[in-house]
Chains A and B, each alone.
Chain A
């Protein structure tokens, strides 16, 4: 199998001139004005085979977009080499050259012209494309009348019906409703079978793990790892942890675990103490990952020194859109030291941040008085393979339902 993309020792630096005047003078032959270099990619080497799905992961500013832009030809490289065999289509171009005055159909044609796509091919795919976009009568109306969702659907349909050798996808994929998203994913899968290679940039480790063949990990403009997806994701998460960007609670067996490390002033409140948090799955293994529908047990060690009327421990879960999913709270007893809370995760797959609080509920006013609050101490990941399995429910939450036939 030949390589569709081969990148060798690719380097990109941006010239920083002291003024724009210097920059312009520099183009005159034999004039060499001084400038500083800002490096944004150093020594990147990887290759993409035909039909392969390669993901690029890394923190913001690690050079992912710059790399993609060079491959698309939008930016010019500074050093090294790269070869692209065949055509590249990038979702970065989504909606390029759309004219609000024109109808959906006319826009498909005019933006294909702007992007230099094969017009004959587009014409031949027009019916399929129209069905995919599912815009009905809107397809022949000016796109200024479209909602933003319809706009994206139109743009996506065009891109997903092209026949490139390499397809570059970024976060743009997470648009539209879930049905349309799934339609997109199905289409991508189909394209993959037809031998289209993919370059995918995402922060969503789940999707990366699900879809990729190989993963490229970038950090601070450098290539950290290229190869096995599990190893790359492991390195990426470890890296995130080490930097404390996302405080993932270490769930070690030792009593002095990361919670106490994260919150050194744990005993500042001399009335109450949170000593440890241990999270295990149904098999008793320490983890923050849980399959959809399965449960995690939160074991919290506490100490109540002062007497409280109604001390309550609460776990607050929010999804990545910062929507409050649920608050699980239980009253705790003074003479006990541990509380085990088992939570079944019947919620949509994804990452959920959680807060751990100890609160008191005033019985007279039913007001909540916070005693100890730890915000965003970690992420629970609910795993589900939406691509290949039928989800038990669609939406945020799966309600506990009983069905009877009569």
Chain B
């Protein structure tokens, strides 16, 4: 099955840009445009209070989190649709449902490599050069993948019975981007509201990436613990739901 997933993910990935004029450049154009919008609004118009002592520009601070976030949120967006948009295949092929979700999420995460290269280049231009510590972020990224996969498997199977989910997921992800937070530093949030951030496992993913890539810090073991446990739990819940519902989904589509 793994071979099947990999083979098909690559060919789907290649084919998905076949009919668009700018083809693969969309992988870069989309995040770049978002980056430009946010950094203009926040650094020029709103001027946020990013820690000035470190001499880190807002654009760098933003880019480190928002670039992976775009990939992550696209993965969930597509992953949630993975069953409903493949009904025509599911009705005909003897391929387990989790394969469809995995394929979609993996396809989106392939963009992560492109986006990371972009990010590294961008950091380099701004005087932050590669350090061995950066290898630490491999763990958050792997966990992020399983986290996204878990959510996708869970939502995509429930979506078959409640199509509201595919309508709601877009705006929920938008909200989550502000809650995590991706676009502003968490420490400017009033103390009374900070618990919202700390109870959100996603915060630890993106904050650890930030800590390592920008500030060259070690990742706190507590962070690692949250990452691994939360992504494993999410993955387990997703896999359980999708396999448990498989028969029902096949009966009702």
Contact = CB atoms under 8 A, between A and B. Distances in A.
Contacts of B245: 24, 27
A262 interface: no
Interface residues of B, number: 27
A110 B94 contact: no
Interface string B141-167: 000000000000000001001100000
A74 B248 contact: no
Given A114-B89, A116-B4, A101 B248 contact: no
A27 B94 contact: no
A101 B4 CA distance: 22
A99 interface: yes
Interface string A106-119: 00001001111000
A359 to B, nearest CB: 49
A73 B161 contact: no
B15 interface: yes
A72 B89 CA distance: 13
B89 A76 contact: no
B29 interface: no
A102 B18 contact: yes
A99 B251 contact: no
A23 B246 CA distance: 12
B251 A74 contact: no
A90 B90 CA distance: 14
Interface residues of A, number: 25
Contacts of B95: 116
Given A113-B11, A114-B8, A101 B18 contact: yes
Contacts of A99: 15, 18
Contacts of B94: 72-74, 88
B248 A23 contact: yes
Interface string A75-117: 1100000000000101011001101011000000010011110
Nearest to B243: A27
B222 interface: no
Nearest to B94: A73
Contacts of B92: 72, 74, 90, 92-93, 96
A99 B11 CA distance: 12
Given A20-B161, A74-B92, A113-B11, A15 B18 contact: no
B89 A97 contact: yes
B161 A24 contact: yes
Contacts of A74: 90-94, 250
Contacts of A90: 92
B247 interface: yes
A101 B93 CA distance: 22
Contacts of A93: 92-93
Given A24-B161, A74-B250, A76-B247, A113 B15 contact: no
A76 B249 CA distance: 10
Given A27-B245, A113-B8, A101 B15 contact: yes
Contacts of B244: 27
Contact of A96 (B7, B93, B241): B93
A88 B94 CA distance: 10
B19 interface: yes
Interface in B83-118: 88-95
Contact of B248 (A15, A73, A92): A15
Contacts of A393: none
Interface string A15-28: 10000100110010
The 9 closest A-B pairs by CB, nearest first: A73-B94, A20-B161, A76-B247, A27-B244, A93-B92, A101-B18, A101-B19, A14-B251, A96-B92
Interface of B: 4, 7-8, 11, 15, 18-19, 88-95, 158, 161-162, 240-241, 244-248, 250-251
23 contacts: A14-B251, A15-B248, A23-B161, A23-B248, A27-B240, A72-B94, A73-B94, A74-B93, A74-B94, A75-B247, A90-B92, A92-B92, A96-B88, A96-B92, A96-B93, A101-B19, A102-B18, A114-B89, A114-B93, A115-B93, A116-B4, A116-B93, A116-B95
Given A24-B161, A75-B251, A93-B93, 20 more contacts: A20-B161, A27-B241, A72-B92, A72-B94, A73-B94, A74-B91, A74-B93, A74-B94, A75-B247, A75-B250, A76-B250, A92-B92, A96-B88, A96-B89, A97-B89, A99-B15, A102-B18, A110-B11, A113-B8, A114-B8
